[in-house]
Amino acid sequence: MSDNQSVGLSADQSVGQSADKTAGQSADKTVGQSADKTAGQATDLLGFDNVLLPVGDLDEAVGFYERLGFPVSARIDEIGLAILKVGKEMPGVLLRVEDEAVRQPPPWASPRVWLEVRDARAAGRALDAAGVKLLAPPFSVATGWTVEVADPWGNVVGFTDYCKRPELARS
């Protein structure tokens, strides 16, 4: 099954191509049932904007993510916000201080943000050497390998590669 099919789209369709459908469909229809039941042009998905992660302490969070290899592109202490750069892309990871963010281990069913790296197993070794605790040893996925870490507030970040499917990797 292709990625498009897993969300209810055929291989020759993409989100936003169904011009005859509108966002005003009945509320009892769920996203992903089939391509003809999408919100159409109203949700013409163009790409990621940012990923926001709640943290309890901005200084500690910035230090943790810098150890993971994220450069800080902007920081606004007055509002408790740091923007981390991800590769050459403009979207980034936003660390935002939230009063409710408490230190916790990640629940297994928690959302995860995976970022592409050239070699996930090498990334795992480098993270371990930098004192970052891995959630588990690098594990095999369909496209390559992945290693995951969690920040002190339970946000899970994965580093994944495409060594098994290099034709899908970023160049």
Amino acid code (one letter) for 167: E
Buried b (16+ CB within 10 A) or exposed e, 153-168: bbbbbbbbbbeeeeee
Mean per-residue pLDDT over the chain, rounded:
80
Q: Rounded CA gap, 64 and 72, in Å?
A: 11
Domain residue limits, the chain: 50-168
Q: pTM score > 0.85 for this model?
A: no
pLDDT at 154 exceeding the cut of 90: yes
> pLDDT tens digits, residue range 95-143?
999 988 888 888 777 789 999 999 999 999 999 999 999 999 999 999 9
So what's the architecture of 50-168 in CATH? Roll (3.10)
